[in-house]
Amino acid sequence: MGFFNRNLVAQYPYERSVVDGVNVGFEVFRIRTEIGERGATVSAGYDLPIRDKRTRAERYETLTEDFTYAPNDLDRTVIAPNQIRTVIEAFRDSLFTELFPGRREVPKTLVFAKDDHHAEEIVAIVRDVFGKGNDFAKKITYRADEGDPEKLIRQFRNDYNPRIAVTVDMIATGTDVKPLEALIFLRDVRASQYFEQMKGRGARTITPEKLREVTPDAEAKTRFVLVDAVGVTESLKTVSQPIERDRKIGFDKLLEQVAAGRRDEDAFATLAARLAALDRRIGDRDRARILARAGVDIAGLAARLLNAVDPDALAQRIPPDAPPAEQKRERIAAMDEAARILDDPSFRRLLVEVKEAADIRIDTITTDAVVSSGWDATKAEEEVARFRRFLDEKRDDLVALQILYRLPHAQRRLTYQALDDLREAMKRPPWLLQPPDIWRAYKRLTADRVRGNPAGTLADIVMLVRYAIGESETLEPLPALVAGRFNLWLGREEKAGRAYTDEQRAWLAAVRGHLAVNVEATTEDLSEAPAFVERGGVIRARALFGGGLPKLLEELTDALVA
């Protein structure tokens, strides 16, 4: 650029490389710690070890005055092993929930350290935190004290172990380790080009078969995770924007929105990213089905969508000196043309069917309470604020909210239909609210008052609303709450002289389980729900509890759910 006086002839942006299948996309997972954000102060009188970086010999020195250090002093003039440990523990605790849900094998992970001394500290802590032995984590730097660096790189690339490698510069540029799925930055980088090269270590594509040779439980490499523990993605530099702009909206809903006329850059870029990731996960049979139906493969469809919002592609279509109104018309026309194939509902259903066949849906909620971690530090606050605005605006309109707010004109009891209406209203634009996302946001903001993970049922919404409006001091799944209330109810029944047989107790436990998921239990449910049908259905229930069955169901609902 300097030699040719900024005369740009061509460029190949990161977003384009993802759609073309050259690279995979990435997501940023931010981890913050107390020391990492604010530094620390050690009071006078403590004995602190002083280590010679060159010889690693240690001596102790008694502090005659308070010792204060800032975050940027970490791992340069002062080492805080607890800070490194907190970051590594947060990574470990989030691995199989938020980062790689459903997986059991630690993905190939590369940690960037500040210097060789820092790298040694990290390796020792990683081995201790994961408890997997020396082969699990290795330092790979130009110093050969861990062994031949080139041999270690080959092992990291091709063998099961090491799972985690710690480096300074040796693998930062020019070295491909395609199975890499996670990068951890424990050092900041100011140079834009260098940072992009370091990021590129995780972007390389690999076939599912080759990936499983080193990570047996991996299905396909569809993206990599950039774990930012030092603010490297926030410091002043040019950073590639993740091509997927809107993670909170489901694939099927995004398809429907684009088909219904949504025409904005984020929607098209996000859908292109989802399709590009899906293309790397499906088999030849599904590819053939899509090609036969649409006349274009998934990769081609992704490229069309990205072209419709790519400034370079649009420049070939729209003269730069065209009036603004004409440019806008042409941009909309380009998006209309790219999305025309999605007008066919059967094709949209096929895409959703293919994606669901490639997916395993697993709950992704668990965050280490000791640290602040998440994909974006501001998203939790935004999610909670949007949920509260929704509640304020809809409290008078939706039956479920009328009941939960205890409005004077509200009906007495929650029903499945009322909660389903509430869920659908939350999912619609402009709210686009999903209970697991709201739960995760509260857990990040008030971890000490959030217990457990959502159950993935309508009951989650009840607990979220009660917590948001101050009806409950803690946020926990309804099944845990219902179990405790059920035991109390049984105790009250025994004190009142009402004893139940073993079969009746089994039925009552089944009703408890049904209420914990559906919030409502009716005599019709006793005829339809599998848990009741296999016990004989409503006929057997009436034989056991007689004419008082409807009243008993109402009483249990009030005792366990209200």
- Tokens for 266? 């984020």
How far, rounded to the nearest angstrom, does the alpha carbon of residue 7 sit from its chain's CA centroid? 41
b/e per residue 163-193 (b: at least 16 CB within 10 A): bbbbbbebbbeeeebbbbbbbbbbbbbeeee
Per-position DSSP letters for 127-163, written without gaps between them: HHHHT--TTTEEE-SSS-TTS-HHHHHHHHHHSS--S
The full 3-state SS of 400-419, as one line of letters, equals HHHHHCCCCCCCCCCCHHHH
Compute the CA torsion angle 40, 43, 45, 47 (nearest 10 deg): -10
Number of separate helices (H) and strands (E) present in the chain: 25, 11
Q: Tens digit of pLDDT for each residue in 496-543? A: 888 888 888 888 888 888 888 777 788 888 887 777 888 888 888 898
| pLDDT score of 258 more than 80 | yes
> Would you give the distance in Å from CA 517 to the centre of its chain?
24
Encoding tokens for residue 502? 């073993």
Which pLDDT belongs to residue 305? 86
Separation between Cα atoms, residue 86 and residue 74, nearest integer Å? 14
Question: Between 406 and 145, where is the model more confident?
Answer: 406
For residue range 412-438, what is the model confidence (pLDDT) as tens digits?
677 888 888 898 888 877 788 888 888
Q: Which of 487, 524, 530, 484 is nearest to 510 (CA)?
A: 530
pTM of the shown model: 0.47
How many CB atoms are located within 10 Å of the residue 525 CB?
Answer: 19
In what order do the strands lie in the sheet containing 164-167? 137-139, 164-167, 109-112, 182-185, 223-228, 25-32, 372-374
CA 394, 400, 403, 404 torsion-angle sign = negative
Q: What is the DSSP letter of 141?
A: S
**pLDDT exceeds cutoff 60 at 133:** yes
In angstroms, how far apart are the furthest CA atoms of the chain?
93
DSSP string, 484-518: HHHHHHHHHHHHTT----HHHHHHHHHHHHHHHHH
Q: What is the pLDDT of residues 49-93, one digit of tens each?
A: 776 555 566 677 787 777 777 766 665 567 778 888 989 999 999
Chain segment 320-341, per-residue pLDDT in tens = 677 888 878 888 888 888 888 8
